[in-house]
Amino acid sequence: MYKKNNSLVIFLLLFYSVSIVIPFLSLCTNIEAGTLTELLASEQFKSALANSLVVTSISTVISLIVAYVLAFTLNRTNIKYKNLLQILFTLPMLIPSISHGIGFINLFGTNGLICDLNIFGIKGIVMGSVMYSFSTAFLMFNDAYKYIDYGLYENAKVLGMNKWETFKKITLPAMSKSFLPALFAVFTLVFTDYGVPLTIGGNYVTLPVYLYKQVIGLLDFSKGTVIGVFLLIPAFISFVLDLIKKDHEMNDSVVKSYSIEQNKPRDLIFGILSYLVIILMCLILGSFIYISFMNKYPSDTSLSLAHFKYLLDNDILKYLTNSLIIAIFTSIFGVIIAYLAAFVSSRSENRLKKIVHILAIVSMSIPGIVLGLSYVLAFKKTFIYNTFIIIVLCNMVHFSSSPYMMAYNALNKVNKTYEDLGITYSITSIKILFKVLIPITKNTILEMFSYMFVNSMMTISAVAFLYTSSTMPIQLLINRYENSLMMEETAIISLVILVVNLLVKFIVYLLQNNKITRGQNDEVID
């Protein structure tokens, strides 16, 4: 009977009630009568909503195309250095979205390093949003390609189908399962982001920027709440579709690896497209390095370390330490909560496990800026307000869904008879958890930690309303210095965040590939 894990389920339900349900209810109850009517009649709100829909739609379409081309390149061409390219394609995920906006300003803004494209406005927002979001769709498409059975292509050859018919009748249907989730993931990511439009949007105000100005600038929490509800709509649709997908599309079948045919023109075309994306990414990162060492760009391009000294004199190490504290504790406690929730929902017979599952993934439907606002409303009179605790708690909830699904999928692969054997031999579920399940899924746990750490180091929207001068993370300095036109300082901070995240990813990679963990990555135990 211990498989019901009643105590653990009660603990998880209490945690999610405090960290998700109560803040969400506080958000809903903070709406004042007439605010919705006032907003709907506001031309500024209508304009911001329309702007968001336009830039998000354009950015999503372009991001999906770019992501698909890159995924196709890695899985259906003979291009060299695929492992390296896969890492490079995910680099945009390691710096804040606001840094992408600044990077494009460095390259194509007024006095840009390359040229002046009059980038401020819709053009710049789309470019920055695509660069910020395509990696998310790429990971989904790249993963989907691995589950297309090559046997289907062999059958197509026997039936005399040409390449276009094969692509239309086999590849596209197989990829369609990842297309809709990728579409909503990118759409939600861009629709709720305020980093890129805040830096490069100019007078083209989007809905997240409008919310930010209402709350931070005017302290109008009622309007901010209503705007937050509008930001929830696409994410909520994505959440519902994800629930349906998880319930009805679980497929763990083994597939035959794809055999790539020789085709030099194809490899050349897709290789060029992929390297163009990489070159643009490298130009953005290169602009940070170049500008960091300028005395005063663009008026004085002589080499100087003055900006590094300025940041050191102005406590950059303190803000970096704050970020590391937040990221480390978010990752440790976030992994524990996500893994325990996955353990309950995948290995338990408790009747409430479905509720745990829904609460564990519901945070994917709450944009960071909305979650941060709800935490202000829910906890502003509590002891955790203005402390690291509230920031860590907010980040844990904000980034928990993906790590939860990592653990959920990994634990579902492990033979379910272990608990039955435990009952027979009077072995507790806790012993099975620590002696069997955790060692088997060690690499997944490391990946969960990496995911939460990297995102905690980058997020701006989730903590924009929660920090104080003593708890301010380093990434929020980017907005401060950008507003003061101190582009050299923003470049240095962006590079610091990138280096820290790359270091953590490298350490995780080493841990996942050492002698202890080699061969134990999410094995299916029979």
Write the CATH number for 434: 1.10.3720.10
Contacts (Cβ under 8 Å, ≥6 apart) of 173: none
108 and 22 in one domain? Answer: no
Does 297 map to a domain? no
385 and 275 in one domain? Answer: no
DSSP state of 61: H
Nearest to 252, CA basis, from 2, 524, 521: 524
Residue 70's domain spans which residues? 44-292
Residue 227 in tokens: 């705007």
Does 278 map to a domain? yes
pLDDT for 31:
76
Does 175 map to a domain? yes
Residues in the chain: 526
Residue 394 in tokens: 């907010």
Which of 234, 267, 292 is at the close of a domain? 292
320 and 270 in one domain? Answer: no
- Work out the widest C-alpha separation in the chain, in whole angstroms: 77
100 and 25 in one domain? Answer: no
- Distances in Å between the Cα of 140 and the Cα atoms of 90, 243, 522 are 12, 17, 19
418 and 287 in one domain? Answer: no
Residue 25 in tokens: 């209810």
From CA 270, how far away is CA 72, in angstroms rounded? 8
Residue by residue, DSSP assigns 308-351 as HHHHHHTTHHHHHHHHHHHHHHHHHHHHHHHHHHHHHHHH---T
312 and 287 in one domain? Answer: no
Taking residue 11's Cβ as centre, other Cβ atoms within 10 Å add up to: 14
CA 205 to chain centre: 23
Does 217 map to a domain? yes
Does 54 map to a domain? yes
pLDDT for 249:
46
pLDDT for 498:
93
DSSP state of 370: H
Nearest to 292, CA basis, from 280, 306, 282, 313: 306
What phi and psi values does residue 12 have, to the nearest 5 degrees?
A: -65, -40
Q: Are 52 and 191 in contact (CB under 8 A)?
A: yes
Q: Give the CA angle between residues 276, 280, 283 to the nearest 5°.
A: 135
61 and 14 in one domain? Answer: no
Does 480 map to a domain? yes
Amino acid at site 338: A
Residue 240 in tokens: 């519902």
Q: Are 189 and 96 in contact (CB under 8 A)?
A: no
What phi and psi values does residue 363 have, to the nearest 5 degrees?
A: -65, -20
What phi and psi values does residue 295 have, to the nearest 5 degrees?
A: -65, -50
pLDDT for 230:
81
Which of 292, 315, 346 is at the close of a domain? 292
Q: Are 193 and 99 in contact (CB under 8 A)?
A: no
From CA 12, how far away is CA 338, in angstroms rounded? 10
Contacts (Cβ under 8 Å, ≥6 apart) of 62: 126, 130, 134
Q: pTM higher than 0.85, yes or no?
A: no
18 and 159 in one domain? Answer: no
pLDDT values of the chain reduced to their tens digit, one per residue, 526 residues: 445 567 888 999 999 999 999 998 888 887 777 777 888 888 888 899 999 999 999 999 999 999 999 998 998 888 988 888 988 998 898 888 889 989 999 899 888 888 888 889 999 999 999 999 999 889 888 877 877 776 777 777 777 777 777 777 777 777 777 788 788 888 888 988 888 998 898 889 998 888 888 776 666 777 778 888 788 787 777 777 766 665 444 444 445 666 777 888 988 999 999 999 999 999 999 999 999 998 887 777 788 898 999 999 988 999 999 999 999 999 999 999 999 999 988 877 778 888 888 888 887 778 888 888 889 989 988 999 999 999 999 999 999 888 898 888 888 877 776 666 665 666 667 777 888 888 888 988 998 999 999 999 998 888 888 999 899 999 999 988 888 888 889 999 999 999 999 999 999 988 888 744 444 444 444 4
Does 16 map to a domain? yes
**Is the dihedral angle over the CA atoms 310, 311, 314, 315 positive or is it negative?**
negative
265 and 197 in one domain? Answer: yes
Does 35 map to a domain? no
Burial (CB < 10 A; 0-12, 13-18, 19+), residue 110, is exposed
Which of 266, 292, 318 is at the close of a domain? 292
Contacts (Cβ under 8 Å, ≥6 apart) of 39: 45, 223, 226, 227
From CA 225, how far away is CA 16, in angstroms rounded? 21
CA 70 to chain centre: 18
231 and 313 in one domain? Answer: no
Q: Which residue has the tokens 């990555």?
A: 521
498 and 368 in one domain? Answer: yes
Half-sphere exposure of 219 (CA within 13 A, CB side): 0
From CA 292, how far away is CA 102, in angstroms rounded? 13
pLDDT for 245:
62
Number of separate domains in the chain: 2
Residue by residue, DSSP assigns 149-186 as -HHHHHHHHHTT--HHHHIIIIIHHHHHHHHHHHHHHH
pLDDT for 83:
85
Nearest to 376, CA basis, from 474, 276, 468, 292: 468
The 3-state secondary structure of 227-245, one letter per residue: HHHHHHHHHHHHHHHHHHH
337 and 251 in one domain? Answer: no
